Amino acid sequence: MNVIFLGPPGAGKGTHAQKMCLEYGIPQISTGDILRKAIAEGTAVGKKAKEFMDNGSLVPDSVVIEIAKERLAKDDCQKGYILDGFPRTVAQAEALDKIASIDFVVNIAVSDEVIVKRLGGRRVCPNCQAVYHINFLNGETKCKDCKTEIIQRKDDSEETIKERLKVYSKQTAPLIDYYQKSDKLISVDGAIALDEVTEQVRKVFEAHND
Ligand code: AP5
């Protein structure tokens, strides 16, 4: 099963991709995580990407398409995968069409107001990428899986969140139309309670699992 999770920053793409990947035993391919790792390791790609990510813009298509191609060529993708945060422009979607056959696209829809609240409270584990929210942490400061101190992402400041939302609406939202035209798009309401969103997403997967 080859799946794309589409949606604005903070829609819950990472959270739900992680859950479905565990349930279906397929890898979660997050271009954001790959880029953050490259920055932490100080690679050439990381150096190119850092400024774009810090100010909330998209990393150039040429860089991200190359990353996705390399990742999708790995053995663990043979049984399927979930793309989380890729493609993010029409050029990326066209490049993906040349190397992969996508079964369906889950579009997680959430309003800007909800997103600003959510991302301001998001905390992440820099080691295993687990995602948390301060409302559910009860003061805990360490990752429950690997016990690493959790942090706030640099691009989760209020100003950068607003910029990321602008970038999403200009460059990524056109993909809704792109995948609707090929009849692959299924939208779920991402603004309701987390467990209820998971249930909706799970139903979409079950309907496509033959
Ligand atoms: P990336 O890491 O992909 O960030 P993003 O798309 O902005 O998405 P997020 O990770 O912020 O949100 P999410 O939808 O995964 O939400 P999450 O599950 O964490 O990209 C970062 C940067 O890298 C980009 O800005 C760009 O510069 C670059 N980049 C990456 N890919 C690129 C590409 N293809 N092309 C060019 N540049 C690229 O949830 C958010 C929070 O909400 C969490 O705290 C979660 O617990 C909470 N939450 C989720 N759902 C619910 C719910 N229903 N109720 C309550 N809380 C909820």
In tens, the pLDDT along 170-193 reads 999 999 999 999 999 999 999 999
User: Which pLDDT score is estimated for 209?
Assistant: 83
Q: Is pLDDT of 88 > 80?
A: yes
Nearest residue to 181 (alpha-carbon basis) of 90, 108, 109: 90
Using left for φ > 0, alpha for ψ between -120 and 50, and beta otherwise, residue 59 falls in beta
Give 96 Cα–ligand 1 centroid separation in angstroms: 20
User: Which pLDDT score is estimated for 188?
Assistant: 98
Mean pLDDT value of segment 149-158:
92
Q: Indicate if ligand 1 lies below 6 Å from the C-beta of 194.
A: yes
Give the Cα separation of 73 and 146 in Å (integer): 28
Q: How confident is the model at residue 105 (pLDDT cuts 50, 70, 90)?
A: very high
Nearest residue to 119 (alpha-carbon basis) of 74, 152, 86: 152
Q: How confident is the model at residue 64 (pLDDT cuts 50, 70, 90)?
A: very high
CB proximity list for 148: less than 8 A, separation 6 or greater: 125, 126, 127, 128, 142
pLDDT in tens, 113-151: 999 988 999 999 999 988 899 988 999 999 999 999 999
Q: Indicate if ligand 1 lies below 6 Å from the C-beta of 39.
A: no
Choose which residue among 29, 110, 118, 152 to substitute to test ligand 1 binding: the one with the highest number of ligand atoms within 8 A of its C-beta: 118
Sign of CA dihedral 10, 13, 16, 18: negative
Give 9 Cα–ligand 1 centroid separation in angstroms: 4
Q: Indicate if ligand 1 lies below 6 Å from the C-beta of 34.
A: no
Percentage of the chain beyond pLDDT 70 is: 100
Q: Indicate if ligand 1 lies below 6 Å from the C-beta of 18.
A: no
Cβ 67 vs Cβ 74: under 8 Å: no
pLDDT in tens, 191-208: 999 999 999 999 999 999
Which residue type, as a one-letter code, is found at position 157? S
